[in-house]
């Protein structure tokens, strides 16, 4: 089957062909025809299977007929994070270049004035995060009663981030007669309830069992002492055939410290997490895509939906706290039919988390021993040339101390799993006493929201432009 068999227009087929695609993925082959027939859709597919194009392509053809009016977008796509929203905008720009459609991107961290001006001109496609959309709606800057098409993307991530009440309110502002498409990698009960309430006789499409990992990904667990994680990571980065890698950590502090450690050992690495403003996040992702840096150390802000081609390895420096996050993290490799490797470091404290992951994906993951410390010693890294043994020992002790801090932070932030765990006392300790006990300033868990308050004073990148013309 080719895209020409799906009923898409000649202009759209030309754009798809120029992008280098000729064969649709299973989710695209099954979703595009019913979307063109104006049916509601529930699409369940593992990450990396092409969900974005399965709704972007038919939307372009559907919206080709009609005219946008001021403040009244004709269609709405809801995304949980700024990065995902920007990625969908890139797809519209790439595939819609032969259609005269206008687009607006509503995300936090961007000048609100530019977004309002784009809405005032009228847009065919509105791509938004729930927080910024609700903000502008409450200010009277946008009307949703002209929106005839709604897409809720990464619905399970919306649930994790607490956006479901916002989505329910947004749905009540839209016309009752509309087409609604819901896409998700998993289908927990609250998402099923949302679909039952706001979708009309939807067609369900499931191309893989929910919460399964791609068969193209080789998964391994590495048993490691928590104090020797960095040594093991460096050894594997050298021993494995790593072309490019994303390394996931549970906390922003760990991301920053690990990136500095890798750079000091001569690795070309960058970092992305929630404390970095939007312009810096985009710049760092572009450096990674361009190969300026081959290693990206990240928090879960980069775990879902980001399509970065050619990632050969994913390392879970910290085992994820939630099993669903494991599926999304490792989905950054093995995309579009390519093969990939996912390696998760496991300490004795991670036993329960790993057990939950294996139950979720329905398979046992191979366990291997960590590389020896000697294998981690750099042989030609510029930062190590001419260094004394005393200097290396000092760095090793520094890494150990940082690892100890991270374990203490992890223990503080770990959710209470039963009533016998009385961790509430630790969170209620005065700040001064906590700092004295832990030897560092107390830190809060990383926020999971995508609020509109983070400032972005830099220029808007080209692919975030608010319109494209044929």
Pairing relationship of beta strands 366-369 and 245-248 according to DSSP bridges: unpaired
CA 334 – CA 217 distance, rounded (Å): 5
Instruction: Enumerate helices (H) and strands (E) in the chain, giving the number of each.
Output: 17, 14
- Is residue 146 included in any domain, yes or no? yes
Q: Are residues 239 and 167 in the same domain?
A: no
The answer to whether residue 67 scores a pLDDT higher than 90 is: no
Q: Are residues 196 and 222 in the same domain?
A: no
Higher pLDDT, 104 or 210: 104
User: Between the CA of residue 256 and those of 82, 102, 156, 237, 296, what are the distances in Å?
Assistant: 21, 39, 28, 18, 11
User: CA-based angle 41:43:44, to the nearest 5?
Assistant: 155
Highest-confidence range of 168-182, 331-345, 400-414, by mean pLDDT? 168-182
| Paired residues of 222 in beta bridges | 345, 368
Two structure tokens written together for 386: 């001419």
Q: Are residues 203 and 230 in the same domain?
A: no
- Is residue 437 included in any domain, yes or no? no
User: CA-based angle 4:50:362, to the nearest 5?
Assistant: 130
- In 3-state terms, what secondary structure has residue 299? coil
Q: Are residues 261 and 168 in the same domain?
A: no
Q: Are residues 231 and 158 in the same domain?
A: no
User: Between the CA of residue 43 and those of 49, 154, 155, 221, what are the distances in Å?
Assistant: 11, 10, 10, 31
Q: Give me the pLDDT at residue 304, please.
A: 66
- Is residue 132 included in any domain, yes or no? yes
CATH number, residue 251: 3.40.50.300
- Is residue 38 included in any domain, yes or no? yes
Q: Are residues 291 and 335 in the same domain?
A: yes
Q: Are residues 112 and 230 in the same domain?
A: no
Q: Taking residues 203-222, report their average pLDDT.
A: 82
Cβ-proximal residues to 70 (8 Å cutoff; 6+ apart), any chain: 119, 120, 121, 122
CA 176 – CA 174 distance, rounded (Å): 6
- Is residue 431 included in any domain, yes or no? no
- In 3-state terms, what secondary structure has residue 195? helix
Q: Are residues 253 and 189 in the same domain?
A: no
Q: Give me the pLDDT at residue 128, please.
A: 96
Q: Are residues 195 and 233 in the same domain?
A: no
Q: What is the pLDDT of residues 116-135, one digit of tens each?
A: 998 999 999 999 999 999 99
- Is residue 443 included in any domain, yes or no? no
Q: What is the pLDDT of residues 222-233, one digit of tens each?
A: 999 988 999 999
The answer to whether residue 442 scores a pLDDT higher than 70 is: no
Q: Taking residues 141-145, report their average pLDDT.
A: 93
pLDDT, averaged across the chain: 80
- Is residue 300 included in any domain, yes or no? yes
The answer to whether residue 416 scores a pLDDT higher than 50 is: no
Q: Residue 362's CB: how many other CB atoms inside 10 A?
A: 10
Q: Are residues 301 and 356 in the same domain?
A: yes
Minimum mean pLDDT range among 45-49, 321-325, 364-368, 415-419: 415-419
The answer to whether residue 18 scores a pLDDT higher than 50 is: yes
Q: What is the pLDDT of residues 233-243, one digit of tens each?
A: 999 998 878 99
Q: Give me the pLDDT at residue 404, please.
A: 54
Q: How confident is the model at residue 413 (pLDDT cuts 50, 70, 90)?
A: very low
User: Between the CA of residue 164 and those of 51, 194, 219, 321, 429, what are the distances in Å?
Assistant: 20, 8, 32, 21, 33
Q: Are residues 240 and 334 in the same domain?
A: yes
Higher pLDDT, 273 or 344: 344
H or E segment and range at residue 192:
helix 189-198
Q: How confident is the model at residue 394 (pLDDT cuts 50, 70, 90)?
A: low
User: Between the CA of residue 289 and those of 147, 269, 282, 293, 331, what are the distances in Å?
Assistant: 35, 12, 10, 8, 16
Q: Are residues 272 and 129 in the same domain?
A: no
Predicted model pTM: 0.59
Range of the domain at 253: 217-414
- Is residue 436 included in any domain, yes or no? no
Q: Give me the pLDDT at residue 305, please.
A: 55
Highest-confidence range of 183-187, 286-290, 371-375, by mean pLDDT? 286-290
Number of domains in the chain: 2
């Amino acid at each position: 089957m080719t895209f020409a068999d799906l009923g898409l227009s000649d202009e759209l087929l030309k754009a798809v062909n120029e992008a280098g695609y000729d064969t649709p993925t299973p989710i695209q082959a099954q979703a595009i025809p019913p979307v063109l027939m104006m049916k509601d859709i529930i699409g369940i597919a593992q990450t990396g299977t092409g969900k974005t194009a399965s709704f972007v392509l038919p939307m372009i053809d559907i919206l080709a007929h009609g005219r946008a009016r001021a403040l009244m977008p004709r269609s709405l796509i809801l995304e949980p994070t700024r990065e995902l929203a920007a990625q969908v905008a890139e797809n519209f720009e790439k595939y819609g270049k032969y259609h005269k459609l206008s687009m607006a991107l509503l995300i936090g961290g961007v000048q609100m004035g530019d977004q309002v001006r784009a809405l005032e001109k009228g847009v065919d496609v509105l791509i938004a995060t729930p927080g910024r959309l609700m903000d502008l709606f409450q200010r009277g800057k946008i009307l949703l009663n002209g929106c005839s098409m709604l897409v809720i993307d990464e619905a399970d991530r919306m649930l994790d981030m607490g956006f479901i009440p916002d989505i329910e309110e947004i749905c009540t502002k839209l016309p009752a007669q509309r087409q609604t498409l819901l896409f998700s990698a998993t289908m927990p009960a609250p998402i099923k309830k949302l679909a039952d309430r706001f979708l009309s006789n939807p067609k369900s499409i499931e191309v893989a069992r929910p919460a399964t990992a791609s068969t193209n990904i080789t998964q391994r667990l590495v048993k490691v002492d928590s104090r020797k994680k960095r040594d093991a990571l460096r050894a594997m980065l050298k021993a494995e055939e790593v072309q490019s890698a994303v390394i996931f950590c549970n906390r922003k502090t760990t991301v920053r410290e690990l990136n500095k450690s890798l750079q000091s050992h001569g690795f070309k690495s960058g970092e992305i997490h929630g404390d970095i403003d939007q312009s810096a996040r985009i710049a760092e992702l572009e450096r990674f895509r361009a190969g300026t840096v081959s290693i990206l150390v990240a928090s879960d802000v980069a775990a879902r939906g980001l399509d970065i081609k050619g990632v050969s390895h994913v390392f879970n420096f910290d085992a994820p706290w939630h099993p669903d996050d494991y599926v999304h993290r490792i989905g950054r490799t093995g995309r579009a039919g390519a093969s990939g490797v996912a390696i998760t470091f496991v300490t004795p404290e991670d036993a329960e988390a790993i057990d939950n992951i294996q139950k979720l994906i329905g398979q046992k993951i191979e366990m291997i021993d960590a590389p020896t410390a000697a294998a981690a010693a750099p042989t030609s890294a510029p930062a190590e040339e001419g260094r004394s043994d005393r200097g290396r020992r000092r760095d090793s002790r520094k890494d150990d101390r940082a690892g100890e801090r991270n374990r203490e932070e992890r223990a503080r932030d770990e959710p209470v799993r039963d009533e016998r765990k009385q961790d509430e006392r630790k969170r209620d300790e005065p700040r001064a006493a906590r700092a004295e006990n832990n030897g560092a300033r107390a830190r809060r868990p990383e926020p999971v929201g995508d609020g509109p308050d983070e400032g972005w004073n830099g220029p808007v990148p080209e692919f975030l432009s608010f319109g494209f013309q044929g």
